[in-house]
Amino acid sequence: MGVSLSAGGAFQWLRDALTPLNDSQQVTFERLISLAKGVEPGAGGLLFLPYLLGERSPYVAPDASASLVGLSQMHKVGHISRAVLEGVLMNLREILEVCVEAGLQTDQIIASGGATKEPLWLQLLADVLGREVVTVTGASEGGAYGAALAAGVGAEVWPDLPAALGRIQVERTFTPDPDSQRRYDVVFAAHSRLHEALTDVYALTASADEA
């Protein structure tokens, strides 16, 4: 199992950080997604490390911090929005790479949670991981939907778990776009080296904060 400490929370951070610039009216996720859609894969060379709360997978790194690397004058809010999306998914790919090295063979990703409501997240996930991504019944509710099914078995709505799971069907399927996948392979090669490159910086900034 691999767990990233900042996934959808990284996108929420971006929204909250930008909200004071919008006359205190909350910037919407829909607006940020729209801006991200207007940017090509790779976010114009802008890379985001989503370590807003440190990290525990694929690195045990409590002192790690989030970073925007490659920022230049040409980058706009849309680039930052897309870089945050891509950075979160690049981190998931790093976790997947560890699982694959351990012998886990994965041809299909079943996605769940609130982010599955937005097709861009799911298409980017397929492109970054290079695998088919599907959502199933109740995917947007995540573990709560499974808990409801288990409760239904306990309340004798269904006789057993297999019967409850019989209502689960694949609802949407996303396949990798070949051009985007090739681009993200290049981005991943750079992104996966950032943690090691910044490890000493994390230690220094943590020490400075304590001082």
99 in a structural domain: yes
105 in a structural domain: yes
pLDDT by residue (tens digit) across 33-58?
A: 999 999 999 999 999 999 999 999 99
1 in a structural domain: no
Could you tell me the residue range of the domain that residue 101 belongs to?
8-210
Q: What is the pLDDT of residue 206?
A: 78
173 in a structural domain: yes
Q: What is the pLDDT of residue 1?
A: 81
Distance from C-alpha of 16 to C-alpha of 29, rounded to nearest angstrom: 10
Split into its structural domains, the chain has a count of 1
**Is the four-CA dihedral 69, 188, 56, 148 of positive or negative sign?**
positive
Which stretches of the chain are DSSP H helices?
Answer: 8-18, 29-37, 77-101, 119-129, 143-154, 161-165, 178-191, 194-210
The CATH number assigned to the domain holding 39 equals 3.30.420.40
Q: Give the chain's residues under pLDDT 70.
A: 210-211
Tokens of 170: 């694949």
Q: What is the pLDDT of residue 211?
A: 58
61 in a structural domain: yes
53 in a structural domain: yes
2 in a structural domain: no
Using CA atoms, how far residue 34 sits from 27, 81, 183, in Å, is 12, 9, 21
Q: What is the pLDDT of residue 210?
A: 67
